[in-house]
Amino acid sequence: MSRHKNIRNLDPYAELDDFDGEGYDDISESDERRLKEGLTQVRGTLGRAGISATDKEIEESLWYYYFDVSKTVNYILSLHTPAKKPKKRPQSQFTQKDQKGAPTAAQAKAFSEPSPDDIVMAAQSGSKGLNNAKKKTEKPVEKMEAAVQAVAIDNAPVKARKRIDVLEEFKKTKTKENANFVVIGHVDAGKSTLMGRLLYDCGVIDERTIQKFKVEAEKIGKSSFHFAWVLDQTNEERSRGVTMDIATNHFSTASTNFTILDAPGHRDFVPNMIAGASQADFAVLVLDASTGAFESGFQNNGQTREHTLLARAIGVSRIIVAVNKLDAVNWNHDRYIEITQQMGHFLSNAGFSSNSLSFVPCSGLTGANIVHDARDKLPWYSGPTLLQTLESSKPRSRAINSPLRITISDVFRGGIQNPVSVSGRIEAGSLQIADALLTLPSRESATAKDIEINEQSSEWAVAGHNVTLHLSGIDIIHLKPGDVICSPDSPIVPLNCFDLKILSFETITPMLVGIHRGRLNASGRVISLLESMDKATGKTLKKKPRHIAPGMLARIRVEVTLGAGIPVEKGNKLVLRLGGKTVAAGVVE
């Protein structure tokens, strides 16, 4: 789960105060050279203007303005230029002195006492009223405006585009495979605990951290949840004992860099599960082998069934079934066989081929058969561990040669030098630093100032990479999760109305629906039922039916009811939901 600062609740003063000028020890040689060159140029300009500033002031300003000398000079000048003094109020003709320097006798007699106007003006000038209040409020208002402007749009110079042949560079690199997998299943199946144990056994989480989580979990009466806290990090998730949003973590093996997308199992958070599954190469379906627990998750209202169908509809074709909590049934082989037979039949009917299915018995709490085998507890099992099964699962083919498409998962402020940052997975195409970008549906232009892949800086990225993009030339108010970043040369045209080829999960009639794709969530309406189709042959069964029954294949027309269209195109897979239930899933035609 991404946990970043909320830009809408940002305090510009606090953010600017956090930047104390430290942190130059680990800058690159090129940045250090630019810092020295800029210091010399700024020092020379200020010298000609008769302004003296410390090296620290100049270096901090250069660093903040990304080595822009003109902006740095203007900022230093604004700090050191004295404010203009107010002009002196001219004396009244009645108080002016005569040529000899003394008031006339008539003036002294007529105006020996102060006039009413003089009394009022004296009272105003000596009070702590409106005049002084105005002086006090002007500076904070100006400071606020300057601070907001500073963090709103990053117009700092971007590195020159190197014109890298990204596809050729990608072919040359001998890096590990990058694979995303989403963890799905019914609530309380042990998904987060299983993944926490996997990270611990792989050495990503140290013993001290686990012991700390264990002590804290025991204090609130959830002693068995300490491994789950590796991924469930918010206070609400820990107190409730359920995952509420996609929790993200990374680990590596000798051959693959894995990204875990731990999806919430509760039915209230199915849209977040959809967001995770849309970024996954394959899925890990976690089942609770405890007596009655598997049956509960597999019933009509259980998330085992719904998550599986959603994952297949979104495009996940490879699934690993982790039969968890076998320690609760004393590692019973018969219970394992019962579960695998029922799930195997269901998954086959859902569209998963037999060679894309794997079943692994395990226990997240004890760590049995996750990273290390457990022959003493599972003498009847001779297959691979969960980690070995993950390594044998190859990611989907990458659409590297297609136009650039990135669905934004999160929007945040990446630091004082990166006021606008987004994260997401590259679905198609490639990009490099200094590339021009187009955001949809806002149709705002931006530039890729910097690229990070799994928190490591990179000159370029291709389809399949999880990236953080630091953008310049765009205000953060034009971006939100679910938006799409693409190339200006091959943009998506946002659609207000489109046809869908769907598989219905519930009865479909002309009705209101929620449209989901990744983090995209829009309000829509089914305005027309075009035809019902035969699932085996795809032939038309009936034109313009009155309704579509559950389990039917059909073509429908959907209209977006709010906003100026959504960034989807032919081939995109969408999910339709209504009243907390998934009613259909399909492909844009």
Whole-angstrom CA distances from 309 to 269, 293, 302, 319 are: 16, 19, 12, 12
User: In the prediction, which pLDDT does 532 show?
Assistant: 92
User: In the prediction, which pLDDT does 272 show?
Assistant: 74
Whole-angstrom CA distances from 11 to 176, 421, 479 are: 41, 17, 20
Closest CA to 582 of 312, 359, 331: 312
Gap between the Cα atoms of 430 and 461, Å rounded: 6
Gap between the Cα atoms of 319 and 355, Å rounded: 10
Q: Answer whether 182's CB lies under 8 Å from 316's CB.
A: yes
What is the CB neighbour count within 10 angstroms for residue 357?
A: 17
User: In the prediction, which pLDDT does 142 show?
Assistant: 53
Q: What is the dihedral of CA 395, 399, 401, 405, to 10 degrees?
A: -120
Roughly how many angstroms between the first and final C-alpha of the chain, as a whole number? 32
Tell me the CB-side half-sphere exposure of residue 553, using CA atoms within 13 A. 11
Domains of the chain: 7-80 (no CATH), 185-391 (3.40.50.300), 400-486 (2.40.30.10), 497-588 (2.40.30.10)
95, with CB counted inside 10 A (0-12, 13-18, 19+), is exposed
From first to last of its 589 residues, the chain has per-residue pLDDT tens of 444 444 444 444 444 344 444 444 456 666 777 788 788 888 877 776 777 788 888 888 877 777 777 778 878 887 776 554 554 444 444 444 444 444 454 444 444 555 555 554 555 444 444 344 334 444 454 554 554 455 456 665 566 666 787 888 877 777 778 888 888 888 788 888 888 888 888 888 878 887 887 777 777 776 666 677 676 656 665 565 555 556 778 888 888 888 888 776 566 667 777 777 778 888 999 999 988 888 887 776 677 888 888 888 888 888 999 999 999 999 999 999 999 999 999 888 888 888 889 999 999 888 999 999 988 999 999 999 999 999 988 777 788 889 999 999 889 887 777 889 999 889 999 999 989 999 998 899 999 999 998 778 889 999 888 899 999 999 989 999 889 999 999 999 999 999 999 988 889 999 999 998 888 888 999 999 999 998 878 889 999 999 999 888 999 999 998 777 899 999 888 989 888 888 888 899 8
User: In the prediction, which pLDDT does 256 show?
Assistant: 86
